[in-house]
Amino acid sequence: MSEERSPLDRLLARQDFKPFAGRHAFHVLELSKKRLKTPPIRDEDVLKAVSSLGVVLETEVAMIVALQQALCTRCGNCCRNRGTIRLRKEELQGVADHLHVEYKRLKDQLRATPMGDGTFVVAQPCRLLRNNLCTVYPARPGTCRGYPASDLLASMGRNKPFDGCPIADQLLAEVVVKRVLEEQMWREHPEELKALAEGRRGELAGLAELPQSERMRRLVEGYSRSIARGRTQ
């Protein structure tokens, strides 16, 4: 076994670490235990992994975003209950092009309020929702593509519970499962974990010069392909 600290201990020792706690932490703990049925998983690892959610890494954010679509229950809550959403003029134009309607007509239909900075605010429930499905899904704005991960992580950063989406705790449980399995690999197969970590660092190094949004897009695409392969095997 390597003499260095384990992956979880390194996360817990970070200066920016704040423990993830509260009622959502208990729910995430139960969901994680159900996912981790294969022995010999240590309860201590699961507890530490849940607490370690006070820090979420960039690659894990990408994993969460990629998992959103696979776990989505199609309840439509995000299109009804967020109050308002904000989108850029280019995004509104993209929706208009997707629907083959005039830009001004769509703006009037959505009652989009200009904010004076090239963005618009649109009130919910969204007028483009039909039978709990987004009718412009391929052209949906970034605020919709990033939900619930964006709002979930923002709430965690403010130490506030997030109840806006039924799959939010499931997404966090997936991060816990990943971390527990890495902890177990650190003890039992340290060289394999080292090789995985080096591959991940190499991937991130290759994206280091890109703008953050483009780097995240590519990471999400990579996880999405992995998820798709896993579902078809």
pLDDT digits (tens, 9 = 90+) for 114-161: 999 999 999 999 999 998 889 999 999 999 988 999 999 999 888 888
Please choose, from the candidates 131, 130, 132, 128, the residue with its C-alpha nearest in 3D space to the C-alpha of residue 87: 128
- Entry field: residues in the chain: 233
pLDDT band for position 231 (50/70/90)? low
pLDDT of 33 higher than 70: yes
In 100-210, where does DSSP find H-type helix? 103-110, 142-145, 149-157, 168-188, 190-207
Give backbone dihedrals phi and psi of 21, rounded to 5 degrees, phi first: -145, 180
Mean pLDDT, rounded, for 200-218: 89
pLDDT of 110 higher than 90: yes
pLDDT band for position 1 (50/70/90)? very low
pLDDT of the residue at 232: 44
pLDDT band for position 100 (50/70/90)? very high
Alpha-carbon distance 136 to 38, whole Å? 41
pLDDT digits (tens, 9 = 90+) for 182-194: 999 999 999 999 9
pLDDT of 233 higher than 60: no
**Residue with structure tokens 């399995």?**
181
pLDDT of the residue at 230: 66
Lowest mean pLDDT among 6-20, 30-44, 103-117, 127-141: 30-44
Alpha-carbon distance 84 to 123, whole Å? 4
